[in-house]
Amino acid sequence: MSQPNCNTTSHRFKHLTERERYQIEILLKERRTPKEIAMVLCKHKRTIEREIARGTVKMMNTDLTIKLQYCADTAQMVSFRNACNKGAGLKIGHDHKLAQYIEKKIIKDKYSPDSVIGEIREKGLKFSTSICTKTLYNYIDKKVFANISNKDLPVKRNPKKGNYHRVRVAHNNLKGTSIEERPKEIETRKEYGHWEMDLVEGRRGGSGAVLLVLTERSSRVEIIRKLPDKTQGSVHQALDKLERQQKKGFYKRFKTITVDNGSEFLNSKALERSVKRPGIKRFKLYYAHPYSSWERGSNENANKLIRRFIPKGTDIGKYRHKDIQRIENWMNNYPRKIHGYKTANEMAA
């Protein structure tokens, strides 16, 4: 070909490299024209002219006069800075109403990012823009929100699921009914009235107060009661009080309860005995296998939600009963992904 250093390969949409910028600087010092430089680098003349204009800076001579000169280092720095601004703009950039709604839900209402987006879609809330859960997590990572960081999230990412298996250990509760005898229909979670029960403990050395947490397996409705201590008597009294409060509705609402093998739950006969109907069981109690918390997975997940308000190491005795009731109401009105972002109260209605 007549032009030097040229070939048939297209050079369109090819950015100048740092090496090529140094070549431009050397060729300009040799008093080459933009057209000649373009022929050497196989670029269009306008590309070279724009590059020279972009990288030209004011230089001071030894006699303190100012001259304009192309600097490859400056041109490379400008190119790098411009490259940082590439890509599509933020979808949420101009939708301040949506940004404020998200910040309120995550910071004040303690929602997860997925619950915020799911609730917006479920309720049909209208904003100027819409984003998905992954985009919201990306914005939080990039610190797009002024008031939200990863520290405000209850769980940063889904933990890796383990391979659950039953642990073969000596069973210290031979008088109770094992979960192995629980009807298989309960596993389907189609019928309301089958519960899981556990205790949430506070700081060791504190008042000794604990929370009795009952989770309904199908709807995830929560019942939380504050107990003065972790004893069989306190658990028994709480269930007796619950039976008296709900009267006849208790026996329709509570059919079975699954618990762990903690000492506070070992007296199955006392817990099953009705306080309103002497000689009749108010529900059937089943015991999960030792070291198998996954058999009460709904209950364990509920405990994690409670920890958003009562972190580990906190003395539960400092919380009033109305504070506990507020947590219970929040959990029963929290949109759940497993229910298509409907709440537990909506599922139980």
CB 155 within 8 A of CB 112: yes
Give the model's pLDDT for residue 172: 54
Torsion sign (Cα): 189, 195, 198, 202: positive
Query: Which pLDDT band, with edges at 50, 70 and 90, does 1 fall under?
Result: very low
- For the CA atoms of 135, 141, 145, 151, what is the dihedral angle to 10 degrees? 120
Give the model's pLDDT for residue 176: 85
Q: Which residues pair with 214 in a beta bridge?
A: 197, 223
Q: How many CB atoms lie within 10 A of CB 345?
A: 16
Give the pLDDT confidence of 62-106 residue by residue, as tens digits: 888 888 999 999 999 998 888 877 777 777 878 899 999 999 999
Instruction: Give the integer Cα–Cα distance in Å for 122 and 131.
Output: 14
Position 341 pLDDT exceeds 60:
yes
Give the model's pLDDT for residue 170: 41
Q: Which fold has domain 177-348?
A: Nucleotidyltransferase; domain 5 (3.30.420)
Mean pLDDT lowest among 51-65, 103-117, 217-231, 236-250: 51-65
Mean pLDDT of 193-199: 97
Instruction: Give the integer Cα–Cα distance in Å for 14 and 51.
Output: 13
Give the model's pLDDT for residue 206: 85
Q: What is the mean pLDDT of the chain?
A: 88
Give the model's pLDDT for residue 92: 83
Give the pLDDT confidence of 124-176 residue by residue, as tens digits: 999 999 999 999 999 999 888 888 988 888 776 555 556 655 555 444 555 78
pTM to 2 decimal places: 0.72
Q: Are strands 210-216 and 194-201 parallel, antiparallel or unpaired?
A: antiparallel
Give the model's pLDDT for residue 84: 77
Q: What is the CA radius of gyration of the chain?
A: 34
Give the pLDDT confidence of 288-320 residue by residue, as tens digits: 998 899 999 999 999 999 999 999 999 999 999
Segments making up each domain of the chain, as ranges: 18-83, 96-152, 177-348
